[in-house]
Structure 1
C-alpha cells in the first residue's frame, strides 16, 4: 500500500489544525444501558449484535492494510519486563507460523484476526494475513514529559523513527503502537478514551504513517479502561473477572490494542471502512461491538466467556506460548453482526 499520495495531502492539510479524533473508545458499559434506559441511535450505543438493520457500515474507497503488517511497539515510560512479554505474546499470536498455530488450542487469537481479514479494498485485496512483531523503541525517561496531548503522540512516533541510534524503520507495512505506562497522563485518557488510532502528518513526522496509542489504566481508571477486570461503581451486583495474565492494567490494554489494530487495519487513513458521515468521528468495525466478548454480550454483560480451571481467570482466545487473552469481538461483514472465534454457534 502506498503510504504517501497526493490525495491524502489534501486531507491532511484540512486536518492539521485539529487533534486526531478517530476511535474515541471506552470498553465499559454505557450509563444509559446499565441504568435501564433505552439507547437510541448509532451514537448512543454501539452494540448491535444481530441488529444489522441499524448498522450502515460502508466502504469509502480508501486503502486497507493489505500488505504484510509489521507492528512496532514504542514503550513510553517505565515498563516492567513481564508486562512487555504479555503484550509481545499477544502481537505474536495474531499470525503465528503455521506449525506454531497448529499447537495453539481453539479458539485462538489468529482465528479472531481472520474476521478482520474479511475486509477488502477497491481491488478486492483483503487485510493482510501476515502480522509480525517488528523493531521496538523505548523511552523510559519520558522525554516529552508525563503529560501528553493527542498531538504529542505523533511527536513520540517522530522521535522513534527519527532517532539518532536504532531508529524504527519506515515502510509501507509499518504500524506504530505507542504504549504509555501508568505514570503517563494522555489527553482525554480515562474520561473519554482508552486508545485511539490515526495517521501521522507529514508536517509533524515527515511521513504519513498509521499509528495507535493505548494507555495502561491500572493506577487511574481500571474500571473504565480495563473492564471487565474492574467494574464501575454504577454497575451493581457484578464482580470483576480475574485477568488471564494476572495483570489488570495490561490484560485490559490487550483488548484495547486488539480493538485499535482491527480498526487500523480496516481504516488506516480514515477513508475506508466505517459507519457515519464524518471520517474524523467514525463508527468502526470494533466500535460496533463495544463491550461484547462472547455470545449474548451487550449492555453490562460480556457474553459467554471461558474460565481457566486452575486460576479462575476469564478469557476468550488462546495465544502463543500458552498465553490466554480476553479480546473484544469485531463486526463480521459477511454475517452482519459481531462475532468471535469463541461464539457458541461456531
Structure 2
C-alpha cells in the first residue's frame, strides 16, 4: 500500500508540474518584456513652447539662475556632449515631431501671499497666473513651503488648467524644494536615501542639494508634460497615476543603475561633483534616464 501511495503521489506531483510549467514559462516571458508606454491618441506639446515661471517663496538669484539655465540648456545644441539638449531630443521620438522649450515670463511671490501650507487648489491658482498659448507654467515652491502630499508620495506633479473664456487648456508643472523637508526622498542621490542602502550621496553639480534635486524632478515632469500633457498621450497604467516618459526610469541616471545605485555618471575632478549633462553658461546637471519609444528602453546619456 505504501509503495502504491508513493507512486500515486509521484505521478500526481509530476502531473501538477506539467500543468504549472507553461504558466511558469509564460510568467518568465512576461517579466522579460520591455516596458511600453501606450499612445492614447491625445495631443502632445510640440513646436516652440514657452516656459513661464512662478516663484513662490524665497529663492536666491543664484537658485533662479540654475533653473532658468537648465530650461535654456534644453535648446542649446552647442554644449559639449553629453548635453541636456541631447537628453531632451529623446522627446522628439514621440509622435508628432520636436519640441523646443524656452524660458518665458516670470512671476515672483516672495511674500507667501497664499501662506506656507499649500493645497492642490493653491497650486492651480498659481498655475493660472499664465495661460499663454503653446506654453507651460512652471510653479516652484521654496524650501519652507509645504504642499499636500509633498514628501509623502510626490516631489512634484503636472497637470493642466482650463481657460474659462476660451475653453483651451494650459499645461503646468509644480516642483518643490525638498532641502529642508525630505532631501532623502526628493533630492536623492544628492542626499542619503530615507530607505534602502545608505550609500554615500553624490556631490550636487551646482552646489545646492535642494535645487539640484529640483532639476531632477523638473526634468522628469517636463518630459512627462510634453509627451502626456492632458492625460491622453503616452503613458502606461491608469490616467490618475500614469507611468510616463521620465517616471518610467526613476532612479536611473547612468548605465549599470539598480535600486539604490544611480549608475555610472561623470565626476568633475576639481569639485568632485557628479553630473551627466552639460548645459548653458557652463552649468552641469544630473538628469534622469528617459524612456525611448524607438527602443522601448530607458535611455541614458552615459
* Corresponding residue SS for 2:105: coil
Q: Does residue 1:264 correspond to 2:235, yes or no?
A: no
* Corresponding residue SS for 2:178: coil
* Corresponding residue SS for 1:153: helix
| TM-score computed with the length of structure 1 as normaliser | 0.75
* Corresponding residue SS for 1:56: coil
Q: How far off its partner does 1:321 sit? A: 0.9
Q: Say how many residue pairs are matched.
A: 272
Could you say which structure has the larger radius of gyration?
2
Correspondence for 1:292 = 252
* Corresponding residue SS for 1:117: helix
Q: How far off its partner does 1:282 sit? A: 1.2
CA contact (8 A) 2:205 2:212 kept: yes
Cα distance in 1 for residues equivalent to 2:32 and 2:72: 32
CA contact (8 A) 1:154 1:204 kept: no
Cα distance in 1 for residues equivalent to 2:80 and 2:251: 24
* Corresponding residue SS for 1:135: strand
Q: Does residue 1:118 correspond to 2:57, yes or no?
A: no
Correspondence for 2:271 = 311
CA contact (8 A) 2:160 2:172 kept: yes
- The aligned runs of 1:212-223 (5 Å cut-off) are 212-223=173-184
Cα distance in 2 for residues equivalent to 1:233 and 1:214: 19
Farther off after superposition, 195-204 or 248-257: 195-204
Correspondence for 2:106 = 136
Cα distance in 2 for residues equivalent to 1:141 and 1:205: 31
**Superposition RMSD on alpha carbons, in Å?**
1.7
Q: Does residue 1:71 correspond to 2:54, yes or no?
A: no
| TM-score computed with the length of structure 2 as normaliser | 0.86
- The aligned runs of 1:229-308 (5 Å cut-off) are 229-276=190-237, 278-308=238-268
Correspondence for 2:28 = none
Q: Does residue 1:332 correspond to 2:301, yes or no?
A: no
Cα distance in 2 for residues equivalent to 1:200 and 1:132: 20
Cα distance in 2 for residues equivalent to 1:224 and 1:205: 39
Could you list the per-position Cα deviations for residues 241-292 of structure 1 after superposition, in whole angstroms to 9, with x for gaps in the alignment?
Answer: 100000000000001000000000000011010012x212211111110000
User: Higher relative contact order at CA 8 Å, sep ≥6: structure 1 or structure 2?
Assistant: 1
CA contact (8 A) 2:197 2:260 kept: no
Q: How far off its partner does 1:144 sit? A: 1.0
Name the structure where strand makes up a greater proportion of residues: 2
* Corresponding residue SS for 2:191: coil
Name the structure where helix makes up a greater proportion of residues: 2
Q: How far off its partner does 1:202 sit? A: 4.0
Cα distance in 2 for residues equivalent to 1:127 and 1:211: 19
Structure 1: segments with no counterpart, 5+ residues: 1-50, 162-169
CA contact (8 A) 2:162 2:168 kept: yes
Cα distance in 2 for residues equivalent to 1:204 and 1:338: 40
Q: Per the alignment, do residues 325 and 205 of structure 1 end up closer, same or farther by CA in structure 2, a change over 3 Å counting?
A: farther
Correspondence for 2:9 = none
Cα distance in 2 for residues equivalent to 1:71 and 1:216: 18
Cα distance in 2 for residues equivalent to 1:205 and 1:146: 32
